[in-house]
Amino acid sequence: MEFYGTIGPACGNRERLAGMFYHGMTGVRLNLSHMCLQDAAFWISEIHMAAERVGITPQILIDLQGPELRIGEFKNPKEYVLKAFETIYLGTEQEENQIPVTKKFLDEVFEGQSILLDDGKIMLKVVKKDAERVCCNILIGGVLKQKKSIALPGVEIAMPTLTQMDIENLHLAKQYGVTGVMLPFVRGREDIMNLKAALREADAEDICIFAKIENFSGVDALEEIIEEADTVVIARGDLGNAMPLWELPAVQKKIAKRCQEKGRKFMVVTQMLASMETSAVPTRAEVSDIFNAVLDGADSVMLTGETAAGRYPEDAIRYLVKTVESAEKFLQESIE
C-alpha cells in the first residue's frame, strides 16, 4: 500500500515532511494546477532531504492541469467573498467585481444553469445572459480565489488533453525525480495516449500514469482507461460534483470492483480525513471510509488539503496509515 500526502504551506519544510515520512507516508503529490514544476523546486528538494533523513526513496506525483476549466486571474481584488443570495457577474473581460471566464465557457452557459466553483464548494445559478457576461445568483457562498475550477453540471466542454504548461512540466519531470503523473478528467483512451506521446517526447516513458476518473465520460470509458493507465484514481471531488452525492459511493464501488477484476491498481482520494484540516482527531465516518477503501482493494490512498493546508498534517498521515494497517490486519485474519 502506498500513502500519499499533498505538499503545501502547512507541510512545505523538511522537518514536517520528515515527520510525515516517519509516520508512514511513502509519496508526495505536487498540485501543478496553479504553478509550474520549477516553482516547486524548493519543495521538491525538501521532500528528497526529508525522505533521506528517514531512509526511504519517495514517490513524487505531479498533478497536471489537464482538460479542466478554470476561472482566470482577478484584476482586483485578489479574492472574492461571495455571499449567499447576492449576485455576481462572470464575463470574458478582466474587470473589477467580475469573475473572468473563457469565451468557450460563456458560449455553453444558459439561463437557469447551475455553476460550480472551486471543486463544488461554491454554487451559482445563472439568471441572465448576454454576449459578454452572465449574471448569477449565489446559492452557496464562500471565499473564491483566482484560477480555481469551474464546472457546468451535465455539460462537457471540449478541451485539449494537456495545456502548454503541462507539456513544459513533463519535459522537466525526470530532472526533478518525478515518478508519476496524475492526469485530471480523463475522458477515454485518447487522453491517455496523448499523455503517453508527450512523455515519449520528453524522454520520460518510465513515469507512471495515474488516470483520474472525475466525470461521467471517465466512468463510461472505464474499460479502455483501465487498459491504458498504470493506476486508476477514483477522484471523488469533481466526480461527486458530476452526480448527486448519494450516488457517488455506488460509482466508487463499481470502479473499484472493475479494477480488481482486471488486475489494475487503483487509488482513492478526496476528503478522506477532511475534518483534520481543523481537528486533531478524525470522525468515525472518515476512518470507516479509509477502512472500506482497503477492503475494496485500493492499492494507494491520498490526502490533499489535510496535509497541504491543514493544521495537523503529521497526525493526518498517522491516522491514515494506522487505519489502513488495521484494515489489512482484518483482511489477513479473515483469510486465516
Q: List active site positions.
A: 29, 70, 212, 270
DSSP string, 39-94: GGHHHHHHHHHHHHHHT---EEEEE---S--B----SS-SEEEE-TT-EEEEESS-
Cα–Cα distance list, 70 to 95, 144, 228, 305, 321 (Å): 17, 12, 27, 19, 33
Q: Do 115 and 150 meet the contact criterion of CB atoms below 8 Å apart?
A: yes
Nearest alpha carbon to residue 65 among 200, 164, 198, 196: 164
Spatial contact of 201 and 213, defined as CB atoms under 8 Å apart: no
- DSSP annotation string for 170-207: HHHTGGGT--EEEETT--SHHHHHHHHHHHHHTT-TTS
CA angle 278/279/285 to nearest 5° reads 115
Q: How far apart (Å, rounded) are the C-alpha atoms in residues 102 and 152?
A: 13
What grid cell was written down for 203? 524522454
Distance (Å, whole) CA 100 – CA 42: 31
Which are the contacts of 114, defined by CB distance < 8 A and separation ≥ 6? 123, 124, 125, 126, 139, 152, 153
At residue 303, φ and ψ (nearest 5 deg) are -105, 145
- The CA-based angle 272-277-282, given to 5 degrees, is 55
The answer to whether the CB of 91 falls within 8 A of the CB of 115 is no
Whether the CB-CB separation of 188 and 158 falls below 8 Å is answered with no
